[in-house]
């Protein structure tokens, strides 16, 4: 298993490399560009725009710009006076913090070393800003995925064993409705009902934090999680229940299920111990990618509920043309997608002992 995981990680390197190339090309082709985003003013002269482009290195050939973004600028500098400090450069140093003074040579390390640059809008390292928001996104994503699994799988099982009954029909109609309702509309309706009319749940935001103790324990901020979890996990419940129902219907008619019943096992034991485990095998195919789907889908949900996560952060970066942040979010989404598919392969072996990756 360890060798298989290592091999898959190595195979993912060309995929991620291709994603970085395509993403950078698309960002370079976007209208405006970083220079105009930084100098957005009616009084900006072409000379000022040209100066900013020179400071950002946008006058260099596109391959050089990409390599600087990917690897940093250490490889482009040299020790010209022999003092052990890389002071020679083929590019103009960037004024990263906006203080009017170019930063020392060699200050950019590239995304491969975790340096996504500085935000154009906040004038802060992008990596630090992502670190401040990733906990909120994981909190919402994990709670939504847990909600979907806890309710989606049992609903699918009972709908299959009660095929054609009232429970099956009700859940089938409910799944169609949940899939048809857009997340933004459902979020606004829940905010209107529970936040404005009934006033029993917060209308948005995350639990307030203090300087000394940080965010309160999870049980003290559950009320802030309820509405966004229902919105983000509701559609997942509908999908999981339908897939689980279809997979369980195939399993119920297998010979080993009839054998288990003939041995006198209870229905619950037969359904959950013998049937559900085998029915989960097809679901492992999209369990890993569904984690990425929750994270990417959280962009709308986080925006509706003012949730301080990566999804909302990425939306704000797009609207404000904050290119370093946009590129960082794209790379994080690509890495999480690749890891999600690897997780699906691992779940195959955990669910079905017949599967081996030797």
Nearest to 300 by CA among 284, 310, 292, 312: 312
pLDDT for the residue numbered 294: 63
Residue 106 has pLDDT above 50, yes or no: no
What is residue 214's three-state secondary structure?
A: strand
* Residue found under tokens 């419940």: 237
Cβ(203)–Cβ(196) under 8 Å?
A: yes
Distance CA(208)–CA(224), nearest Å, equals 10
Label residue 96 by pLDDT band (50, 70, 90). very low
Q: Which two tokens stand for residue 151?
A: 């309710």
Question: Could you give the 3-state DSSP secondary structure of residue 210?
Answer: strand
pLDDT, residue 102, reads: 47
Q: What is the pLDDT of residue 231?
A: 92
- Give me the pLDDT at residue 94, please: 46
Q: How confident is the model at residue 208 (pLDDT cuts 50, 70, 90)?
A: confident
How much is the pLDDT for 337? 83
User: In 3-state terms, what secondary structure has residue 125?
Assistant: strand
pLDDT band at 97 (very low <50, low <70, confident <90, very high): very low
What's the pLDDT score for residue 75? 60
**Distance from C-alpha of 164 to C-alpha of 289, rounded to nearest angstrom:** 31
Mean of per-residue pLDDT scores for the chain? 80
Residue 104 scores a pLDDT above 80: no
Cβ-defined contacts of 59-68 (< 8 Å, 24+): 60/91, 62/25, 62/28, 65/24, 65/28, 66/20, 66/21, 66/24, 68/108, 68/110
User: What residue ranges of the chain are covered by domains with CATH 1.10.3720.10?
Assistant: 126-351
- pLDDT at residue 263 in the model: 82
141 or 109, which is more confident?
141
Stronger pLDDT, 290 or 196, i.e. the higher one: 196
- The per-residue pLDDT for 91 is 42
Q: Topology of 126-351 in CATH?
A: MetI-like fold (1.10.3720)
Considering 35-44, 117-126, 182-191, 251-260, the range whose residues carry the highest mean pLDDT is 182-191
Q: What percentage of the chain carries pLDDT values higher than 90?
A: 18
Which range, 104-113, 220-229, 260-269, is most confident? 220-229
Q: Which residue has the higher pLDDT, 192 or 49?
A: 192
Q: What pTM did the predictor assign? A: 0.79
What's the mean pLDDT in 142-147?
A: 89
Instruction: Please tell me the predicted confidence (pLDDT) of residue 192.
Output: 94
According to the model, what pLDDT value does residue 82 have?
52
The three-point CA angle 109-113-117 to 5° equals: 50
What is the enclosing helix (H) or strand (E) of 253? none
Q: Which of 297, 333, 311 is nearest to 182 (CA)?
A: 297
H or E element, residue 41: none
Distance in angstroms (rounded) separating the CA atoms of residues 4 and 343: 12
| pLDDT above 50 (res 335) | yes
Lowest mean pLDDT among 73-87, 115-129, 183-197, 300-314: 73-87
Return d(Cα 281, Cα 143) in angstroms, integer: 23
């Amino acid at each position: 298993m360890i060798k298989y995981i290592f091999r898959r990680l190595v195979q993912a390197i060309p995929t991620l490399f291709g994603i970085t190339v395509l993403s950078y090309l698309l960002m370079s082709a976007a209208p405006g560009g970083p220079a105009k985003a930084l100098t957005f003013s009616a009084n900006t002269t072409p000379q000022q725009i040209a100066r900013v482009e020179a400071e950002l290195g946008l006058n260099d050939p596109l391959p050089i710009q990409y390599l600087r973004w990917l690897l940093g600028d250490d490889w482009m500098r040299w020790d010209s006076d022999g003092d052990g400090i890389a002071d020679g450069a083929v590019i103009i140093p960037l004024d990263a913090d906006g203080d009017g003074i170019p930063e020392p040579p060699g200050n950019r390390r590239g995304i491969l070393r975790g340096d996504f640059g500085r935000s154009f809008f906040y004038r802060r390292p992008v990596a630090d800003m992502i670190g401040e928001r990733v906990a909120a996104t994981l909190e919402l994503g994990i709670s939504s995925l847990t909600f979907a699994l806890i309710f989606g799988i049992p609903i699918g099982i009972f709908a299959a064993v009660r095929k054609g009954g009232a429970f099956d029909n009700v859940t089938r109609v409910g799944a169609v409705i949940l899939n048809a309702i857009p997340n933004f509309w459902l979020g606004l309706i829940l905010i209107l009902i529970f936040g404005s009319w009934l006033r029993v749940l917060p209308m948005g935001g995350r639990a307030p934090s203090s300087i000394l103790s940080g965010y309160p324990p999870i049980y003290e901020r559950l009320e802030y999680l309820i509405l966004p979890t229902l919105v983000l996990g509701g559609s997942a419940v509908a999908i999981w229940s339908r897939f689980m129902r279809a997979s369980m219907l195939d399993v119920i008619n297998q010979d080993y299920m009839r054998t288990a019943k003939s041995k006198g096992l209870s229905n619950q034991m037969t359904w959950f111990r013998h049937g559900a485990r085998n029915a989960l095998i097809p679901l492992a195919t999209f369990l890993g990618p569904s984690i990425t789907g929750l994270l990417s889908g959280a962009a709308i949900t986080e925006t509706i509920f003012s949730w301080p996560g990566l999804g909302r952060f990425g939306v704000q970066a797009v609207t404000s043309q904050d290119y370093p942040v946009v590129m960082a979010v794209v790379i994080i989404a690509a890495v999480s997608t690749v890891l999600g598919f690897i997780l699906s392969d691992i779940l195959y072996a955990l669910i079905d002992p017949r599967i081996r990756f030797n």
